[in-house]
Copies of this chain bind each other. A is one copy, B any other.
Amino acid sequence: MAKATLVSLAESLGVSRQTISNVINAPHRVKPETRLRVEHAIAESGYRPSAAARQLRTRRSMNLGIRLMPVVDGINGSILDRFLHALTEAAQEDSYRLTLFSAATDDDEVRQYEELLNVSDLDGFVLTGTHHGDQRTAWLLENEIPFASFGRPWSDTEDPFSSLHPWVDVDGGAGTQQATGLLLDQGHTAIGFIGWPAGSGAGDDRRDGWRRALQAAGVFADQLDVAVNDGVPAGARAAESLIAAGATAVVCASDSLALGALSAFRSQHRAPATPNVIGFDDTPVAAAVGLSSIAQPIEEAARDIIRVLTHTLSGDADAGRPDKHLLLPPTLAQRVPHPLAGNGWLG
């Protein structure tokens, strides 16, 4: 038998196409009796509405685009995994779906926007990893494509809370500040920071948190600040230099770096009774070796991003509108390193 459509179903039932459409999209408009009759016929015939026809008419695809970031490091990458998951589920709950695309660079990402909008109807985009002078947000704003970003718009001059596009971010600085505060409470004064080279927004923010905590405590430790590219070996080397400079504890911008640092402390037999290395992102590996780490509420962030984006898309009035800009607080996952853990992840 031929594939069922609204018309074919309507004919066989003796009602109009619109009635069937109403059963699907606005059941309250149909008399319960006929509704049941139609619903039964739908199930019977295996009728499936054509999404294309609906999209053509309603001008909405219920599809959101998201870029799959290049795999950099299996350790930190796992948080992206969680994010993608939460995002998919949140979108699903609001009847949206996620369309993947991959791009090597930001420029490439913009090219992909163009391409995707040409061949696919996307209602909006989710951005991750915003940074200074981000070309992508500029392009999207200019072309009036709806989007929301995980990451605030980093700018030296403008207040992120007055930005034109919705965003959700985690207050990394508050996290490192809290972590540093904890180490201070435990009696450490020579607390180092291992982070990334300046300019990355999120990285600078994390460094600032560490600095703020020390300043508040009246401790001067600017010389205990190291900037390296991410990775376990780099973290170990950085920690070695910090130990040589007298550091007794470190806060790190990532778990990869922290894992290296932990290893450095252990191999120098400088491990105190209480945890003295704190990582960032609370990855599974951190949990496995008992590394304390700053945990981002990533699932919550994903839900908020979807909420704020779908709200923009639904075009509702501002009444009852969720906040367009959200800065979520991280939490500190405190752990006691396993007695054997951390010794020699990679020298």
Taking beta carbons and an 8 Å cutoff, which residues of A are in contact with B? 48-53, 55-56, 59, 61-63, 68, 70-71, 73-75, 77-78, 80-82, 84-85, 88-89, 92, 95, 97-102, 116-121, 232-233, 263, 267, 283-285, 288-290, 338-347
Contacts and interface: CB of A to CB of B under 8 A. Distances in A.
A48 B85 contact: no
Contacts of A71: 78, 81-82, 85
B121 A73 contact: no
A73 B117 CA distance: 35
Contacts of A232: 288
A46 to B, nearest CB: 9
B88 A346 contact: no
A121 B62 CA distance: 12
A70 B89 CA distance: 11
16 contacts: A48-B117, A51-B119, A51-B121, A56-B56, A62-B120, A70-B85, A71-B85, A74-B75, A77-B78, A97-B120, A98-B100, A100-B100, A267-B340, A288-B346, A339-B347, A342-B344
**Copies of the protein in its oligomer:** 2
Contacts of A84: 68, 100
A77 B81 contact: yes
A346 B52 contact: no
Contacts of A78: 71, 74, 77-78
A285 B116 CA distance: 35
A101 B81 contact: no
B119 A101 contact: no
A53 B56 contact: yes
Given A74-B284, A77-B284, 5 more contacts: A49-B118, A51-B55, A55-B55, A56-B56, A290-B346
A283 B85 CA distance: 20
Contacts of A52: 52-53, 55-56, 59, 61, 121
A344 B341 contact: yes
B339 A50 contact: no
A128 to B, nearest CB: 14
A47 to B, nearest CB: 9
Contact of A289 (B48, B284, B346): B346
A89 B102 contact: yes
A100 B62 CA distance: 13
A97 B97 contact: no
